[in-house]
Amino acid sequence: MSLTTNSRNSLHLSNDQIDDALLGDMAPEADRHLAACELCAARLAEARMPIDSFRTVTLAWSERRSATLPLQEFKMSAGPLRSAAGKRQPIWASAVAVLLALAVAVPVLRHETRLNGDESSQVPVAVSTPVADQSASDDQISRDNQMLSAIDRDLAASTESPAALGLKPVRSHISNQPANPSIQD
């Protein structure tokens, strides 16, 4: 890339060449010029300044921000990764934990059962319960039947026939007899 002519009719770096210099991708000719030209060096420094400012400010911010973040999260999260077993370790740990819980829970439950009273005294209660339930349900059924019968009797006594109300008797739709004999004929 050739050098460009500026307003003072001297050869200097173009804006694209300044960009190349910022990117570290300069042609040798431009690089030589930059080393010898104070004006272009100043232009490059001026172009670099905002980016360097951004870089400095943001690094200062992220350093401060990072310092406030805990390392502990990483330790806890990375803990299982430290072992050679890798991801399988938590599964084994869970299995061991379940076994330990069962080993502790079963004796405790048995001990509590003994403390609640004589096991033999509880068995008849448990056995007799269905019998008692059965007799109770029979009594209930009997009472229900009696109540339904009484209701039927009351309904039969109070029912007025359609004829008494001036209505014709209603034939059932499922009767075998035709509703209108004339049509049948």
Partner 1 sequence: MQLALDATMTNVQGAVRTGSELDDIDALVRTYRPRLLRFVTFSIGDQDLAESITQDCFLKAYNGRGNFRGDCSVSTWLTSIALNLIRDQQRLQKFRFWRQARATAIDITDAASFLPSNESSPEAKILVREKAQQVQAALENLSTNQRTVFMMRFLEDMELSEIAAATKMPLNTVKTHLHRALKSVRAQVGTNL
Q: Which two tokens stand for residue 41?
A: 């060096």
From 12-20, 100-108, 144-152, 155-163, span contacting partner 1 (CB under 8 A): 12-20
Instruction: Tell me how far CA of residue 184 lies from CA of 82, 174, 178, in angstroms.
Output: 96, 16, 7
Of 32-91, which residues contact partner 1 (CB under 8 A)? 43, 46-47, 49-51, 53-66, 69, 71, 73-75, 77-78, 81
- Buried b / exposed e over 91-129, threshold 16 CB at 10 Å, is eeeeeeeeeeeeeeeeeeeeeeeeeeeeeeeeeeeeeee
Nearer to partner 1, 11 or 22 (CB): 22
The two tokens of residue 100 are: 């330990």
Q: Does 8 bind partner 1 (CB under 8 A)?
A: no
* Least separation in angstroms between CB 14 and partner 1: 10
Q: For the CB of residue 43, give the shortest distance to partner 1 in the complex, in Å.
A: 5
| Identity of the residue, 73 or 118, whose beta carbon is nearer to partner 1 in the bound complex | 73
Report the C-alpha gap between 118 and 120 in whole angstroms.
5
Count of residues binding partner 1 (CB under 8 A)? 36
Q: Does 150 contact partner 1 by CB under 8 A?
A: no
In the complex, least distance from residue 58 CB atom to partner 1, rounded to whole angstroms: 5
**Interface with partner 1 by CB under 8 A: which residues?**
15-16, 18-19, 22-25, 43, 46-47, 49-51, 53-66, 69, 71, 73-75, 77-78, 81
